Structure 1
């Protein structure tokens, strides 16, 4: 059972329009998303590259729909070329765009790898800088704390805090879930009053170890995210480059050879 020529013509037109809209949608989306235009910022470059790759399949589908529409419109055609020159054929520009996109996605692979490396290095430097500043603040506060503890008034205040804490624990004013922390604070205050220097050194070292542990955790997470971005965007960009390159190169060669052969007739 053959389909009606009217429906075939309408289907071909719908495929052409859908394909063209998908191509234009991708191009306009990239242009609008690039605003504000800051090509010298690594963050902008990484974000724009990610957008190009993540939505890079859209124009490929559009090109496929466009060619399907042309094929359905001319089912008996032996080649892609018709009576008009190739440069006036919409398929020629679609294939040219495919070739250009293939080149762009191929160049994006090393470009994105390098940008992620630079971004990761910058983030690691900031992490190390913040950790060093935190450790420096702790070291700077140590003499002040020691001076306060050597002052009789500071010792008296500590003893008052211990007495208030003991009263709160004995009277049940502290909730059960906060009781272990309260007892730990009680022991800390008691150790400070007995041997201030040793207690302060211990607390300083614990604070430094906590900062270093957090720094290592953030560094590990940053490196993992960088590796994931390099692998995902890099490999996807390479696949898109291969796909667009094959479509564009083989299509242009077929279209131009058909046009050249027809011109000799």
Structure 2
């Protein structure tokens, strides 16, 4: 029985130690070179640390199980000098994951604000484009001769069966050309009625503005949803890892202190 327990304890301790050491080495390579001033680096490092956070926890758990088997089934002197650093490392990791929670939430709030600013800037540019487009339509509508030329050019292609410079247009292209001709004809008719033209242009601008507003709302909701999911997922996982590491670390240190006091007595 002692041989089996010793073998199991050794295997668990060996695997746990390898997992813990390899994960710490992975963390070192992950964080270097340090770029604390870059917000993107902070977010990426936080996500990577949290995603890998379960590996050292499993390693520490395997070490604890191996030590428990050793203490309860093997008559031998436990190496407290080896166990102490593990509990200290667990406590430090718990503190790190705890500090990552407010750091990540702050970074994600900042990123969300930047995304909102980019969306607003993009919308402002598109609104200016809409106004310019409507102004261009107004200018064209006030030039009946140009409208007539544009309509005549399209009529020639349509009457020729969609043939332009010896090349046959696709059905979709011909349909688009016909639609453009009809719209230009409508503008030509409206050019003789200033009030109706003004109302029509206002209708076009309102429709485009409404479509732009809908796109803006969809982009804002999408950006907020992504930021919220990312911040909550990483923050909650980091908090749970922090609790697990701190509990293991502090309880382990307290048990070692109690055991050390008993020995000295």
Q: TM-score by structure 2 length?
A: 0.81
| Structure 1 residues 192-233: Cα deviation after superposition (integer angstroms, max 9, x where no partner) | 222264454443333322222111101001111122123222
Q: Which residue of 2 aligns with 1:100?
A: 92
Q: TM-score by structure 1 length?
A: 0.81
Which of 91, 100, 111 is matched with 2:103 structurally? 111
Map residues 1-265 of structure 1 onto 2, 5 A cutoff. Answer: 2=1, 5=3, 8-35=5-32, 37-76=34-73, 82=77, 86=80, 89-151=81-143, 154-164=146-156, 166-167=158-159, 174-175=170-171, 184-195=179-190, 197-198=197-198, 199-264=200-265
Distance 1:98 1:16 in 2: 16
After superposing on structure 2, the runs of 4+ consecutive aligned residues of structure 1 that deviate more than 6 Å are 168-172, 177-180
1:114 Cα deviation after fit: 1.9
1:83 Cα deviation after fit: 6.1
Distance 2:148 2:33 in 1: 60
Q: Between Structure 1 and Structure 2, how many residues are aligned? A: 255
Q: What is the root-mean-square deviation in Å for CA atoms of aligned residues?
A: 3.1
Unaligned runs of 5+ in 1: none
Unaligned runs of 5+ in 2: 192-196
Specify whether residues 189 and 30 from structure 1 end up closer, same or farther in structure 2 by C-alpha distance, changes over 3 A only: farther
1:132 Cα deviation after fit: 0.4
- C-alpha contact 2:144 2:188 (8 A) present in aligned 1: no
- C-alpha contact 1:50 1:233 (8 A) present in aligned 2: yes
| Structure 1 residues 131-185: Cα deviation after superposition (integer angstroms, max 9, x where no partner) | 101111332344444334434553234213441464377899643x777756544
